[in-house]
């Protein structure tokens, strides 16, 4: 059961100020696609990867981000609205399109 379905079961007389408007707003929430672009650390990176911000490291991370973005955009189906009753679709590039 979705949160919206549960909220709609509350009798109108028990709703507090603003809750009817909240339910109406949730009823027309639209759809969202979320694509995870999570940096995949390299085997040679040690514990310092979380705080090592040298120019070389940052350029490498930016290049990886650009490549991940290009790979994501090849999945045009991920940019379409979710189908059915799903209001949110979540995609993980490295899980769904491993290289």
The structural domain count of the chain equals 2
For residues 67 and 25, membership in a common domain is answered with no
pLDDT in tens, 16-47: 888 888 888 888 777 888 988 888 878 888 88
For residues 68 and 89, membership in a common domain is answered with yes
For residues 74 and 96, membership in a common domain is answered with yes
| 81 Cβ neighbours under 8 A, 6+ residues apart | 31, 33
For residues 67 and 47, membership in a common domain is answered with yes
**Is pLDDT above 60 for 1?**
no
Residue 44 CA to its chain's centroid (Å): 29
For residues 17 and 39, membership in a common domain is answered with no
Return the pLDDT at 66. 94
Boundaries of domain holding 46: 31-99
Q: pLDDT band at 14, cuts 50/70/90?
A: very high
For residues 47 and 6, membership in a common domain is answered with no
- What one-character-per-residue DSSP string does 36-96 give? E------TT--GGGGT---HHHHHHHHHHHHHHHHHHHT-GGGGSPPPTT-SEEEEEHHHH
């Amino acid at each position: 059961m979705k949160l919206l379905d549960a909220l709609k079961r509350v009798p109108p007389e028990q709703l507090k100020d603003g809750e009817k408007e909240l339910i109406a707003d949730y009823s027309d929430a639209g759809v969202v696609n979320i694509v995870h672009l999570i940096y995949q650390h390299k085997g040679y990176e040690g514990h310092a990867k979380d705080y090592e911000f040298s120019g070389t490291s940052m350029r490498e991370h930016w290049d990886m981000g650009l490549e991940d973005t290009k790979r994501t955009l090849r999945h045009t189906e991920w940019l379409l609205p979710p189908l059915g009753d799903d209001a949110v679709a979540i995609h993980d590039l490295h899980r769904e399109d491993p290289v």
